Amino acid sequence: MPRPFALLLIPALALWLVSCSSVDPPIDDDEQNDGSTLRSRADSVDFYIGAAVGAAHLTNDAQYAPILSREFNMLTAENAMKFASIRPARTAFDFSAADDIVDFAEAHEMAVRGHTLVWHQQVPSWITNASWSREDLLAVLEQHIESVAGRYRGRVVAWDVVNEAVADDGSLRESIWLDVIGPEYISQAFRWAHEADPEASLFYNDYSAEGLGAKSDAVYELVEGLLEDGVPIHGVGLQMHVSTEFAPSAADVATNIERLGELGLEVHITEMDVRIPLPASDAELAQQADVYQTMLEVCLEAWNCTAFVLWGFTDRHSWIPGAFDGYGSGLIFDENYEEKFAYDALTRALAGEN
């Protein structure tokens, strides 16, 4: 039999428990998880939904950060981790913007995709304007990968180690890396990245290799060869910069993702946007929504497609108008942060609705 004072303690304890559970922890407005955001839906199916981030917008645009952290559970650096951003001069490293992005991700419990360690663009002029011996350029590349992947060791779930090394005809793309080092720059980059951050998944990333064709065949053969050589590569990033005028078919993308899966590789959709010739009509915006929904469905259906990342999220900050003359409106929020049809379409895909 419990003693009388113990009997008195029981209701007291029950009251205390009730009062504890009725006090909710403070939740930021922007991080409410009421099941209606892209992020909460992605979380519930254990899937990454992400966006590329411009570091300056985090501080210069008050509407940007709250929507980013509310809607996405993954982010990537649009420019901040590229060679020219981090290493403006041979003697100078500048990690400030990349640090801001990684810190933001951690503060908001978002995963980070690192982008990108080796690319033919945004290479600093102290590299492109000099003449290099093979040995010296290898040493520069090794130091770069060690420094960058090493700095964020354990904080980046996946790195785009090599970006766009394949040309549109399927040959290896001309670049300072290929010209001076030869094709081994690719395998070496993966090996150094793995040494610097052994836990990170290492990706080869490219555009126009989403469906089937000469380029995606070449990417397939490249990564197959790397695997045969024992190179630490874990996935392929399909950028998915498409338009309402041209996008690969769902069936081709599914087949491509499947064959990469048969090699044991993961796939991430890494840079999706769907550009529209301006001005965008409602019919085009609806068509854009369809393309987004279809590609997300294809990814969700494939066991090895684990992340779906957009190249930004608002038309206010998108590379499209600057890169494709006469085009724009490629993202899922408009310039005033209003949700477009494409936003609802992604929501439906994540919820398994048509």
Q: Is 288 in the site for ligand XIL (CB under 6 A)?
A: no
Contact 212, 254 (CB under 8 A): no
Residue closest to ligand XIL, measured at CB: 319
Q: How far apart are CB 277 and ligand XIL at their closest, in Å?
A: 19
Binding of residue 319 to ligand XIL (CB under 6 A): yes
Distance CA 16, CA 325 (A): 64
Yes or no: say if 221 and 236 are a contact pair by the CB < 8 Å rule. no
Any contact of residue 79 with ligand XIL (CB under 6 A)? Answer: yes
8-state DSSP, 23: S
Min CB(193)–ligand XIL separation in Å? 16
DSSP class of residue 280 equals: P
* 171-230 positions binding ligand XIL, by CB under 6 A: none
**Which listed residue (37, 163, 216, 306) binds ligand XIL by CB under 6 A?**
163
Tokens describing residue 79: 């420019």
| Binding status of residue 69 toward ligand XIL by CB under 6 A | no
SS (H, E, C) 171-198: CECCCHHHHHHCCHHHHHHHHHHHHHCC
- Four-residue CA torsion sign, 343, 155, 24, 61: negative
CA distances from 127 to 7, 114, 120, 299 (A): 78, 22, 11, 38
313 binds ligand XIL (CB under 6 A): no
**273 interacts with ligand XIL by CB under 6 A:** no
Instruction: Tell me whether strands 305-310 and 48-53 are parallel, antiparallel or unpaired.
Output: parallel
Residue 315 touches ligand XIL, criterion: CB under 6 A: no
- Quick count: other Cβ atoms within 10 Å of Cβ 250? 15
Q: Is 308 in the site for ligand XIL (CB under 6 A)?
A: no
Q: How far is the CB of 134 from ligand XIL (least distance, A)?
A: 26
Rule CB under 6 A: is residue 333 a binding residue for ligand XIL? no
Q: Would you please indicate which residues are annotated as catalytic (active-site) residues? A: 164, 271
Question: How many residues are listed for the chain in this entry?
Answer: 354
78 binding ligand XIL? (CB under 6 A): yes
Tokens of 261: 């899966």
Binding flag, residue 327, ligand XIL (CB under 6 A): no
Indicate the residue among 69 and 79 with the shorter CB distance to ligand XIL.
Answer: 79
Is the Cβ of residue 5 or residue 246 nearer to ligand XIL in the bound state?
A: 246
Interface contacts to ligand XIL, rule CB under 6 A: 78-79, 163, 239, 271, 319
